[in-house]
Amino acid sequence: MKAAIRGLYAVTPDITDTRELEAKVEAALLGGAALVQYRNKTADARLRSLQADALRTLCRAHGVPIIINDHVELATTLDVDGLHLGKEDGLLPQARARLGADKLLGASCYDQLDSAVAAVQAGADYVAFGSFFPSTVKPGAVRAPLALLRNAKRELSVPIVAIGGITPDNAAQVIAAGADAVAVISALFSAPDIRAVAERFKKIFETTLQT
């Protein structure tokens, strides 16, 4: 059974020290992160494999799914819970064929609803839109309007993830507009107290969905 896409979706920063990365991710998990995506754009293949394997063990100990960004070979070799692809990272039908039907497949769709519709038709289990706010990770990223989330909610039957500059101060806006999950890097992993920030995001979901 595939995991639900809902809540805080913790996306890892580029960190070469695997023990430091594990400590940061564990703090996020203890604070209530519902999913973890291993993303490292600077690591070589050996380090990616080492870090992804370590995080797989950690996430399974906490009962939280782990998803690999970009690398279908790594995702299948380690038998993680899923794969996330951007528009330059590969074709969704081929990725679905490699992963099998029981793994999660996500797709970045930026500010394009038509791309999201096509991604779902190609086998994506969830779609991600953004950037909704200025992002330090991708300062030049295209900006997506909040109305996109409302439109996507009406047209799509899969979970919707919001990404890009999301913080505890603005997360309620994207959740209220229709995001099932918020993908966060900097506001979470650059915080002095990662666990406390994760707890705050979890509380924001609870209170926003009650209103």
* Interatomic CA distance for residues 211 and 17, integer angstroms: 41
Q: Are 144 and 111 in contact (CB under 8 A)?
A: yes
Q: Which of 2, 6, 98, 138 is catalytic?
A: 138
> What DSSP letter does each residue of 112-129 carry, written as one string?
-HHHHHHHHHTT-SEEEE
Instruction: For residue 54, give the 3-state DSSP assignment.
Output: helix
Q: Which of 48, 56, 103, 108 is catalytic?
A: 108
Q: Is 108 a catalytic site residue?
A: yes
Q: Is 138 a catalytic site residue?
A: yes
Q: Is 39 a catalytic site residue?
A: yes
Alpha carbons within 13 A on the beta-carbon side of 126: 26
Amino acid at the residue 147: A
**Residues with catalytic function:** 39, 108, 138
